[in-house]
């Protein structure tokens, strides 16, 4: 498993931690893209930002550090892979920082929850800004529409952890040497969500979002899994070493 660098941006802490009003109002957040080598080709979990979104982030004052080199295609090139090596893409959800790179992989099967796909087309106004229709409405996308948990391949199991959005799914990864890793995506932006039992502030349904955190905790206890938060900058830049693959 490689953790690829999809760039970073400034985001409001209150959008990440429900009810958080003390401390820093904003913090830099990291955009991970995960790549897995499997017996059925390479699999991605999320695809990062589309380059087209960067001017909007500048305009919103989010100070994006998202260059061409942070696109899914350029990040894969750095580990010696062409887009055609990717056979499957699992999407945690369809927010633009996760679905933005879909356009580069027209041949891959794309796994998404049906409730996410339906909602993304007609989101509530308060979440509409996070969905870019053009990133997920290309006619040639090879959707594999899911309804609940799923075993994508041995060692890659999706867990419905909705609440942040209607169809958010986390990914339980089992690696030969590292064992189980739980990739939380935006059900747990920061380790703080997990530690304080607080769902994201940017949330479609806070009750379900809290249950999702608890489901992650149960899984972590059962599997002895390592826990990767969705966007925490310090985690991805200091806590783990993303210059090396996890084996
Ligand atoms: Zn996100």
Digit-coded pLDDT (tens) for 69-113? 999 999 999 999 999 999 999 999 999 999 999 999 999 999 999
Q: Which two tokens stand for residue 53?
A: 């979104």
DSSP classification of residue 121: H
Count of beta carbons in the 10 Å neighbourhood of residue 214: 12
Query: How many angstroms is it from 208 CA to the middle of ligand 1?
Result: 17
Distance (Å) from CA 197 to ligand 1 centroid: 19
Compute the distance from residue 228 Cα to the ligand 1 centre, in Å: 13
- 105-146 pLDDT, tens per residue? 999 999 999 999 999 999 999 999 999 999 999 999 999 999
Domains of the chain by residue range: 2-239
Q: What class does CATH assign to 2-239?
A: alpha beta
Q: From the CA of 97, how far away is ligand 1's center (Å)?
A: 5
Cα 98 to ligand 1 centroid, rounded to whole Å: 6
Q: Average per-residue pLDDT in the chain?
A: 96
> What pTM value is reported for the model?
0.97
CA of 151 to the centre of ligand 1 (A): 23
| Rounded Cα distance, 239 and 67, in Å | 23
Distance 139 CA to ligand 1 centre (A): 24
- Give 186 Cα–ligand 1 centroid separation in angstroms: 5
How far is ligand 1, taken at its centre, from the CA of residue 14, in Å? 14
Residue 212 above 90 pLDDT?
A: yes
Distance 29 CA to ligand 1 centre (A): 9
Residue length, the chain?
247
**DSSP E strands: which ranges in 101-219?**
109-113, 142-146, 150-153, 156-160, 169-175, 179-183
Q: Are 204 and 128 in contact (CB under 8 A)?
A: no
**Alpha-helical regions (H) of 167-230:** 191-196, 206-223
* pLDDT tens-digit map of 1-55: 999 999 999 999 999 999 888 888 999 999 999 999 999 999 999 999 999 999 9
pLDDT of residue 24: 87
CA of 87 to the centre of ligand 1 (A): 23
**Torsion angle of alpha carbons 153, 154, 156, 158, nearest 10°?**
80
Do residues 45 and 73 make contact, with C-beta atoms less than 8 angstroms apart? no
Task: Find the distance separating the first CA and the last CA of the chain, reported in whole Å.
Answer: 6
What pLDDT shows up at residue 23?
Answer: 84
Which residues, in sequence order, are CB contacts of 120 under 8 Å at separation 6+?
Answer: 94, 131, 133, 136, 165
Helix residue spans in 2-68 (DSSP H): 13-16, 54-59
Is 214's pLDDT higher than 90? yes
Residue located via tokens 């991805």: 236
Indicate the pairing of strand 26-38 with strand 2-12: antiparallel
pLDDT value of residue 202: 94
* The dihedral sign for the CA sequence 174, 226, 164, 29: negative
Is the Cβ–Cβ distance between 71 and 77 less than 8 Å?
Answer: no
Using the mean position of ligand 1's atoms as its centre, give its distance from the Cα of residue 231 in Å.
Answer: 7
Closest CA to 193 of 231, 236, 165, 157: 231
pLDDT value for 21: 82
The predicted-structure confidence for 158-206, as pLDDT tens digits, reads as follows 999 999 999 999 999 999 999 999 999 999 999 999 999 999 999 999 9
Q: Give the distance (Å) from ligand 1 centre to CA of residue 79.
A: 23
């Amino acid at each position: 498993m490689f953790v690829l660098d999809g760039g970073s941006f400034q985001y409001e802490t209150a959008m990440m931690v429900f009810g958080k009003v003390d401390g820093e109002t904003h913090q830099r957040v990291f955009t991970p893209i995960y790549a897995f080598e499997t017996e059925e080709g390479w699999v991605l979990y999320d695809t990062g930002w589309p380059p087209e979104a960067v001017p909007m982030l500048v305009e919103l004052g989010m100070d994006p550090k998202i260059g061409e080199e942070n696109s899914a295609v350029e990040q894969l090139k750095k580990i010696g892979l062409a887009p055609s090596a990717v056979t499957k893409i699992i999407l945690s959800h369809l927010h633009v920082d996760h679905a933005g790179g879909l356009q580069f992989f027209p041949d891959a099967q794309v796994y998404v929850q049906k409730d996410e796909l339906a909602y993304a087309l007609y989101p509530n106004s308060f979440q509409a800004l996070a969905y870019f229709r053009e990133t997920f409405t290309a006619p040639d996308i090879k959707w594999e529409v899911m309804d609940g948990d799923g075993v994508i391949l041995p060692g890659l199991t999706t867990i419905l952890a909705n609440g942040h959005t209607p169809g958010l799914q986390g990914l339980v990864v089992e690696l030969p040497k590292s064992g189980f890793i739980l990739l939380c995506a935006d059900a747990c932006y920061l380790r703080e969500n997990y530690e304080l039992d607080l769902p994201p502030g940017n949330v479609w349904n806070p009750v379900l979002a809290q249950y999702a955190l608890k489901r992650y905790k149960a899984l972590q206890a059962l599997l002895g899994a390592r826990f990767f938060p969705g966007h925490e900058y310090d985690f991805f830049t200091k806590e783990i070493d993303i210059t090396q693959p996890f084996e």
